[in-house]
């Protein structure tokens, strides 16, 4: 009998389960076996003499849920319930609380930090016999040899903002206020227009998978299209069709197209003139600044601020990966690796979908499968796991703690953003989110300590 789906708890949840006072003297027999890949196997025997209180509770619960003639709910004694449903039913009812209690005791007794749910197999469950079951659980791996990170150095990069970056940001702001005006019939496209086209792409006369679109928007002022594409479209009118061939760059992301001669069949469905505001003092005033000079200063400050954050993220990644690569770890369990890979896949899918792209279409476009991505993600997943283990170890060594008032301040700050969403706000004050917030604050403090030691000009 396997009960692996029963459990989703850790040792912290022990206090949430209530047992009768006489269970305190409960003494199961626990044998421990350490298996490869950080698997710990418990063989737990509960003597028949210790089962009585659990069986009594199970019988009481059954009597509350089962109609027994002549008895009010919960009032039938053990013998009556046994006659009504059979003694095996009582043993089965007692099994879950028995396993929950003894499994937690086994974890705490061995000081094991479990990952995920245990695999439970019942070896013997029969009236008049000891209860015997096994529990296999994955143990959180540890650092066996920590690198001496105090001898490591990360050089900071200078933060500079050049005029070209400000100009590009101004152009983006202007584009956000651009109005599209439908062109009159027979008007030819110019480099300042937007066109909506039907497009069919072929290679060696064969249609390219994903190379067909009935309504594809192309912004002719932009520079990120295949070289030569815009030139072919300029001067066309609505309804006009055109066939032409372009060579894709050798370094194109789609290997099947890279360096190839591709035939395009294009029809202009719609033509729009793009009316963008001039970038001048009036434009600056329209977005709350005194003049263009003032707007450029604000943008320079904002760009520098974002670059500072990017530099902090770069330093963090470089520091932690440097320590991880020079430290030794216990074998990382497959369970942890698979969970991290699935998390990375989820993050990628959400990122793609936020850009308005269907994830299946994205996979076709990059010529990869889910299995391919899982294989690609494995080294990065292993590194992410090692970094997480390192942060826990370093935080413990440095005795980094999080005060309750720090937690409260962080959670209250997050909650203020969701005053109109009581469901999210309720989640923010849940024990689970509090644990998560404590974990994040501790990591922040740990990374800051590492930065103070390792980042040197």
Instruction: For 287-314, write each residue's pLDDT tens digit.
Output: 999 999 999 999 999 999 999 999 999 9
- Residue 95, domain member (yes or no): yes
Q: CATH no. for residue 19?
A: 3.30.70.1050
pLDDT (0 to 100) of residue 52: 86
Summarised one tens digit per residue, pLDDT across range 209-251 is 878 889 999 999 887 788 999 999 999 999 999 999 999 998 8
Which residue in the block uniquely carries the two structure tokens 């403090």? 445
What mean pLDDT is predicted for residues 274-278?
Answer: 92
Residue at a domain's end among 140, 166, 196: 140
Same domain, 330 and 269: no
Res 127: pLDDT: 92
pLDDT tens track for 117-160: 899 999 999 999 999 999 999 999 999 999 999 999 999 999 99
Residue 254 CB coordination number (10 Å): 14
In this prediction, residue 26 carries a pLDDT of 57
Q: Which domain, by its residues, includes 184? A: 179-275
pLDDT of residue 66 exceeding 90: no
Instruction: State which of 90, 120, 140 marks the end of a domain.
Output: 140
306 and 216 in a single domain? The answer is no
Are residues 342 and 388 located together in one domain of the fold? Answer: yes
Confidence of residue 3 (pLDDT cuts 50, 70, 90): very low
> Does one domain contain both 259 and 301?
no
Q: How many domains does the chain have?
A: 3
- Asked whether residue 303 falls in the same domain as residue 424, the answer is yes
Residue 43 confidence (pLDDT): 95
Instruction: Determine, yes or no, domain membership for 427.
Output: yes
CA distances from residue 271 to 179, 193, 250, 276 in whole angstroms, order as listed: 13, 7, 31, 16
pLDDT the model gives residue 393 = 95
Query: In angstroms, what CA-CA distances link 357 with 223, 238, 294, 351, 352?
Result: 21, 27, 37, 9, 6
Higher pLDDT, 40 or 357: 40
Handedness of CA 52, 57, 63, 65 (dihedral sign): negative
Boundary residue ending a domain (221, 241, 275) = 275
Q: Looking at the domain assignment, is residue 50 inside a domain?
A: yes
Q: What is the pLDDT of residue 339?
A: 92
* H/E run at residue 273: strand 261-275
Say yes or no: 298 and 431 in one domain: yes
Q: At how many degrees (to 10) do helices 292-325 and 163-176 cross? A: 110
pLDDT at 291: 96
Residue 229 shares a structural domain with residue 268:
yes
């Amino acid at each position: 009998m396997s009960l692996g789906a029963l459990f989703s708890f850790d040792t912290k949840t022990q206090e949430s389960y209530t047992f009768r006072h006489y269970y305190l003297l409960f003494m199961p027999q626990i044998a421990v076996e350490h298996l490869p890949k950080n698997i710990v196997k418990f063989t737990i025997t509960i003597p028949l003499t210790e089962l009585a209180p659990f069986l009594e509770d199970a019988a009481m619960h059954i009597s509350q849920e089962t109609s027994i003639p002549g008895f009010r709910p919960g009032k039938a004694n053990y013998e009556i319930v046994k006659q009504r449903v059979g003694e095996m039913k009582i043993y089965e009812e007692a099994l879950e609380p028995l396993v929950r209690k003894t499994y937690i005791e086994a974890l705490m007794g061995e000081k094991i930090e479990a990952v995920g749910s245990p695999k439970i197999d019942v070896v013997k469950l029969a009236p008049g016999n000891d209860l015997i079951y096994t529990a296999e659980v994955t143990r959180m791996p540890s650092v066996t040899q920590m690198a001496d990170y105090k001898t490591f150095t990360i050089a900071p990069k200078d933060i500079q903002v050049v005029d070209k970056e400000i100009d590009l940001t101004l152009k983006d702001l202007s584009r956000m206020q651009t109005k599209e005006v439908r062109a009159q019939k027979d008007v030819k496209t110019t480099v300042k227009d937007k066109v909506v086209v039907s497009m069919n792409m072929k290679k060696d006369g064969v249609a390219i998978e994903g190379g067909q679109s009935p309504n594809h928007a192309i912004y002719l002022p932009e520079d990120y299209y295949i070289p030569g594409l815009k030139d072919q479209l300029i001067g066309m009118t609505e309804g006009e069709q055109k066939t032409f061939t372009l060579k894709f760059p050798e370094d194109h992301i789609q290997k099947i197209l890279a360096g190839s001669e591709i035939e395009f069949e294009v029809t202009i469905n719609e033509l729009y003139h793009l009316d963008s505001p001039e970038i001048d003092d009036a434009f600056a005033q329209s977005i709350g600044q005194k003049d263009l000079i003032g707007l450029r200063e604000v943008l320079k400050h904002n760009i520098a601020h974002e670059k500072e954050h990017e530099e902090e993220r770069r330093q963090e990644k470089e520091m932690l990966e440097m320590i991880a690569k020079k430290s030794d770890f216990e074998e990382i369990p497959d369970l942890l690796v698979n969970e991290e890979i699935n998390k990375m896949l989820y993050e990628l899918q959400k990122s793609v979908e936020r850009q308005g792209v269907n994830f299946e279409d994205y996979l076709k476009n990059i010529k990869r499968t889910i299995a391919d991505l899982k294989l690609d993600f494995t080294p990065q997943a292993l590194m992410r796991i090692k970094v997480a283990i390192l942060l826990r170890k370093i935080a413990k060594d440095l005795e980094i703690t999080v005060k309750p008032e720090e937690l409260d301040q962080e959670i209250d700050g997050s909650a203020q953003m969701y005053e109109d969403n009581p469901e999210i706000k309720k989640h923010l004050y849940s024990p689970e989110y509090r644990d998560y917030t404590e974990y994040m604050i501790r990591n922040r403090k740990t990374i800051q300590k590492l930065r103070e030691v390792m980042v040197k000009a």
